[in-house]
């Protein structure tokens, strides 16, 4: 634990129109493993994820990547920091009318010298093209490389999004509700892939989930979020199941655990 955490949020505060979404969140993620940010809808987990990935500016506090503050960066130093954090979204955010292969190549946009011009499929280097195929093979979709992304099923699109994240060669992969739009079976496939990415590629994975069962099955560590504050953290204490279920008590999402199991 003496090592510097790869990703760290300190006293993060965020409000939208005076509505406090994150009261003051402290979260440190060590290198490797899969950490799940668990919470009911409206607990603030998506906002926390967006703050950690730099998609939202925080009102107060700090975000640190490998010990260095990244939340106040601008311009090219901000882009350099973002390159080290790959993001996977709930609704995949692929470019629908572009090929799966190009979507994966896009992952290298930040690290390639000429940005888009270095990663366009017809002109990309052989090295990048081969790497993109490796990433697609890794997620089991090499045979779909030439198809337009929108023709794939939701589960497949999320796998392509993970391949794009692998293409980025980031240190950390942050996923925002990666299985919320998928049916249970496809959701499991995606979770297993994320676990494999953490185990085999040595990436640090942080993902938000609202389903307790999935978190228990796949997580190395679960951080419970409720009303914009960390409620428990299995990384520092052992937590009884009743306490985890307590995340869903007090608002309308109490049935989420049933639904997931």
Partner 1 sequence: MSETTVAPPRWTAPRWTAWAAWAAFLALFIQGVVAIELTPERLVRGVGNLGDFLARAFPPDTGGLDAIGWAMLETLNIAIVGVSVGVVLSVPFALLAARNTSPHPLVRSLVRLMIATMRTIPDLIWALIFVVAVGLGPLAGVLAIVLDTIGFAARFFAERIEEVRPGPSEALSSTGAGRLSVIGGAILPETFASMTATSLYSVEKAIRSAVTLGLVGAGGIGVELAASMRLFQYDRAAMIILVILLVVIAFERLSASIRQRVL
Give the number of C-alpha atoms closer than 13 A to the C-alpha of residue 59, restricted to the C-beta side.
15
Q: How far is the CB of 231 from partner 1 (least distance, A)?
A: 28
Q: How far is the CB of 252 from partner 1 (least distance, A)?
A: 26
Residue 160 in the binding site for partner 1 (CB under 8 A): no
> How many CB atoms are located within 10 Å of the residue 95 CB?
12
Distances (CA, A) of 221 to 136, 156, 161, 207, 232: 28, 26, 23, 11, 11
Segment 180 to 239, residues that bind partner 1, using CB under 8 A:
none
Q: How far is the CB of 88 from partner 1 (least distance, A)?
A: 9
Residue 178 in the binding site for partner 1 (CB under 8 A): no
Q: Quick one: which of 57, 72, 93, 201 contacts partner 1 (CB under 8 A)? A: 93
Segment 33 to 62, residues that bind partner 1, using CB under 8 A:
53-55
Q: How far is the CB of 77 from partner 1 (least distance, A)?
A: 11
Instruction: List interacting residues with partner 1 (CB under 8 A).
Output: 53-55, 79-87, 89, 91, 93-98, 106-111, 115-117, 119, 161, 164, 168
């Amino acid at each position: 634990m003496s090592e510097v955490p790869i990703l760290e949020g300190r006293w993060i505060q965020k409000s939208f129109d005076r509505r406090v979404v994150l009261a003051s969140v402290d979260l440190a993620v060590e290198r490797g493993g899969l950490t799940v940010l668990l919470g009911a809808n409206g607990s603030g987990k998506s906002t926390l994820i967006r703050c950690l990935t730099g998609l939202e500016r925080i009102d107060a506090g700090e975000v640190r990547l490998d010990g260095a503050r990244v939340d106040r960066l601008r311009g090219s130093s901000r882009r350099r920091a973002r390159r080290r954090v790959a993001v996977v979204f709930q609704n995949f955010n692929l470019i629908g009318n572009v090929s799966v292969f190009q979507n994966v190549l896009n992952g290298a946009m930040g690290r390639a010298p000429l940005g888009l011009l270095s990663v366009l499929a017809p002109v990309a280097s052989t090295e990048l093209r081969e790497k993109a195929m490796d990433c697609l093979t890794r997620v089991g979709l090499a045979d779909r490389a030439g198809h337009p992304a929108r023709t794939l099923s939701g589960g497949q699109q999320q796998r392509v999004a993970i391949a794009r994240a692998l293409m980025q060669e980031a240190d950390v992969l942050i996923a925002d509700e990666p299985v919320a739009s998928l049916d249970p079976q496809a959701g499991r496939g995606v979770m297993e892939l994320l676990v494999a990415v953490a185990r085999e590629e040595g990436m640090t994975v942080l993902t938000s989930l609202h389903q307790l069962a999935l978190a228990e099955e796949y997580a190395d560590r679960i951080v419970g979020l409720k009303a914009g504050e960390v409620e428990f953290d299995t990384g520092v204490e052992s937590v009884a199941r009743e306490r985890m279920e307590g995340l869903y008590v007090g608002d309308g999402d109490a049935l989420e655990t049933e639904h997931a199991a």
